[in-house]
Amino acid sequence: MTDPTSEGTTTVAAVHPHRVLVLNSGSSSVKYQLLDMRDHSRLATGLVERIGEETSRLTHTLQPGSGAEPRTRTGRIADHDEALKAAAGELAADGFGLDSPELTAIGHRVVHGGLRFTEPTVITDEVLTEIERLVPVAPLHNPANITGIRTARALRPDLPQVAVFDTAFHTTMPESAARYAIDVETADAHRIRRYGFHGTSHAYVSRRTAELLGRPPQDINVIVLHLGNGASASAVAGGRCVDTSMGLTPLEGLVMGTRSGDIDPAVVFHLERVAGMSTDEIDVLLNRKSGLVGLCGDNDMREIRRRVDEGDERAALAFDIYIHRLKKYIGAYSAVLGRVDAVVFTAGVGENSAPVREAAIAGLAELGPVVDGDLNAVHSREPRLISPDHARVAVAVVPTDEELEIADQTFALVGEGDPLVGEVDN
């Protein structure tokens, strides 16, 4: 009810700030979401793609899911600073300017947190310096994250900014999984070890899988396959990560869109000594010109499947190499875990590519996982099982939501009071 003595149309009791803006700055894109933490609803979401190219595009959606048409802007967006300012402009046009008193905090995805950051952390100058120190071990990612943080701080210097690290979930890995078998003194002097990435996604998806199975997370063992442009697998026992496929940097492990994943490290010496390539050239080769794009010229799984269906042999070989590596990790993590309750697919490829899921699980019935063709063919945004009831190991598709997880962790750290009290009455 409206207070009859008030002059305006709105009576506002002391409203706790209840909104969190999440920024996920990638090497050539920025994803953002503004969330209302009272009900986890999305007030606005957006994506700035192809930053630095002539064909940059910003897509902004107000209240996604409400049927509202996205607004699109095309034309060069030079860098991440410009991208974020453009995003802030779109938010302001919808009445969600960064100056809003209802904004509680900004949560940033930060890819590498090294040994120090094992929890979400309020960003200070000192924390930012430490994130900068980690650039050499996340060259595609940490620089973009840092620009996002700097721009956001400049736009709202008074607002808490929180870093949520991709590496944090993996800090529970035992030394046997986290250490490389190289000289211990050299490794320790340079903090060379396996850190693992996509941890926010692996944590969220493994928890949601427990809900889907109707069992407490501490009772189940799952293999999570996060297959996006970057891709990683993890073995999660009782809610804790015990192994993951990415290592010192996000280059190790699975075949990815543009990254090689596992190779014999001697390939690097060979490229230097025999092919005469510099360290920087090899870095670019393995991080940006390898994986699916290196194998067949395309890194988008939709395009690769289209080519496979047309009989393109290079695309078929790229697909087979991708699947072979995935299978090896499913087998390896079945052995690491001893007992597996579910194999779970997530991220762009995992959520959308039925052929990848089918091929990755094909032939594994003796190990336990089996895919039902009809269930696998269903398109849905909901977590779901794609294995038949009799399968000893469930196979599931569980859409990831890194932004929601980052918002939750950010709000838990700096949100004041209960977001459910202090509702606006208007």
Ligand X SMILES: Nc1ncnc2c1ncn2[C@@H]1O[C@H](COP(=O)(O)OP(=O)(O)O)[C@@H](O)[C@H]1O
Which residues of the chain form contacts with ligand X (CB under 6 A)? 26, 228-230, 257, 299-302, 347-349, 352-353
Contact residues for 307 (Cβ-Cβ < 8 A; gap 6+): 296, 298, 314, 315, 316
Is 65 annotated to bind ligand?
no
Please, what is the minimum distance in Å from the beta carbon of residue 29 to ligand X? Answer: 7
Q: Find which of ligand X, Mg ion, ligand UVW, none residue 300 binds, CB within 5 to 8 Å per kind.
A: ligand X
Helix (H) or strand (E) holding 320: helix 313-337
Closest CA to 194 of 182, 206, 185, 204: 182
Instruction: Report the partner that residue 161 touches, choosing among Mg ion, ligand UVW, ligand X, none (CB closer than 5 to 8 A by kind).
Output: none
Instruction: State how far the Cα of 28 lies from the Cα of 57, in Å rounded to an integer.
Output: 11
| Spatial distance between the Cα atoms of 211 and 374, rounded to a whole number of angstroms | 23
Report what 348 binds from ligand X, Mg ion, ligand UVW, none; CB cut-off 5-8 Å by kind.
ligand X
353 contact, one of ligand X, Mg ion, ligand UVW, none, CB 5-8 Å limit per kind: ligand X
Site string for ligand UVW, 195-214 (x = CB under 6 A): --xx----------------
Does 228 bind Mg ion (CB under 5 A)? Our answer is yes
The answer to whether residues 250 and 111 touch, using CB atoms and an 8 Å cutoff, is yes
| Sheet containing 384-385, strands listed edge to edge, beginning at the edge strand earlier in sequence | 240-244, 231-237, 221-227, 342-346, 394-397, 384-385
Contact residue for ligand UVW among 49, 90, 166, 408 (CB under 6 A): 166
Q: Residue 349, annotated ligand binder?
A: yes
Cα of 358 vs its chain's centroid, Å: 23
- Name the segment binding Mg ion (CB under 5 A); options: 47-55, 62-70, 223-231, 290-298: 223-231
The answer to whether 108 is annotated as binding is no
- What residues pair up with 344 in beta bridges, in sequence order? 224, 396
d(CA 216, CA 218): 5
Catalytic site includes residue 166: yes
Minimal distance in Å, beta carbon 424 to ligand X?
34
Of the residues 239, 250, 261, 291, which one makes contact with ligand UVW according to CB under 6 A: 250
Which is catalytic among the residues 81, 166, 183, 372? 166
Nearer Cβ to ligand X (17/228): 228
Q: Which residue, 199 or 228, is less far from Mg ion as judged by CB?
A: 228
**How many angstroms from the chain centroid is the CA of residue 203?**
11
